[in-house]
């Protein structure tokens, strides 16, 4: 079984265990995996050392919300992830190659420091040779934030009343005060993201306008 198959199976298991809703569940893990690949494929041309970190990038992307403090105690979630990675990388043959102790440590550092809230309070961490890998995963997560429907889904699940109008209003406020300011707040550092975000920004505006028309 491939490592990535095991990672996605882990996501399913943890989502069920901690009642993680679809805004941070399997589909989100798949989307950030895809965005991480898009950024990686562009950045590896100028930074070939990233080839040695590809597995760290993708594992971090897939697992990053499986220790989210919105759903669980973060330290407990990180400990479970570490145990899982150590166990799944021992025994059965997997493809791509196993993650060693250094790689697992890097994954832990990336997933615990990439959130918007963490960066706004503490800034970017110093992760040495994994700094560029960190930004790839972090920016992929920011790309997912441009999904306006996902924002409403999170609101409706956490508030628990299924109020679409309030979900829309709160999501608009979040986009106006956070998502639409990613570039202005210097949160996009890779060359790829500095260009790619424009299309996502425009799509979000169009989606908001469509929802506004429907909910009038």
Domain limits of the chain?
3-215
DSSP 8-state secondary structure symbol assigned to residue 89: T
CATH architecture of 3-215: Orthogonal Bundle (1.10)
Is 90 exceeded by the pLDDT of residue 210? yes
The string of pLDDT tens digits covering residues 2-51 is 889 999 999 999 999 999 999 999 999 999 999 999 999 999 999 999 99
CB proximity list for 133: less than 8 A, separation 6 or greater: 50, 53, 56, 57, 60, 106, 110, 127
In the numeric block, which tokens belong to residue 200? 């996502």
Say if CB 147 and CB 202 are below 8 A apart. no
In the numeric block, which tokens belong to residue 64? 């990053």
Say if CB 85 and CB 104 are below 8 A apart. yes
């Amino acid at each position: 079984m491939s490592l990535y198959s095991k990672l996605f199976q882990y996501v399913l298991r943890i989502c069920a265990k901690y009642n993680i809703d679809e805004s941070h569940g399997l589909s989100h893990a798949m989307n950030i995996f895809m965005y991480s690949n898009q950024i990686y494929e562009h950045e590896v041309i100028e930074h070939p050392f990233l080839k040695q970190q590809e597995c760290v990038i993708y594992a971090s992307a897939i697992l990053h919300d499986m220790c989210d403090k919105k759903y669980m105690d973060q330290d407990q979630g990180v400990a479970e992830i570490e145990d899982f990675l150590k166990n799944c990388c021992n025994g059965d043959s997997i493809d791509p190659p196993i993650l060693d102790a250094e790689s697992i440590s890097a994954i832990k550092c990336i997933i615990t420091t990439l959130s918007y809230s963490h960066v706004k309070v503490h800034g970017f961490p110093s992760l040495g040779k994994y700094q560029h890998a960190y930004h790839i995963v972090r920016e992929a997560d920011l790309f997912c934030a441009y999904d306006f429907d996902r924002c409403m889904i999170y609101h409706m699940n956490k508030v628990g009343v299924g109020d679409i109008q309030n979900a829309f209003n709160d999501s608009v406020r979040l986009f106006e005060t956070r998502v639409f300011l990613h570039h202005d707040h210097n949160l996009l550092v890779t060359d790829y993201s500095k260009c790619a975000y424009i299309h996502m920004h425009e799509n979000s505006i169009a989606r908001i306008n469509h929802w506004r028309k429907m909910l009038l």
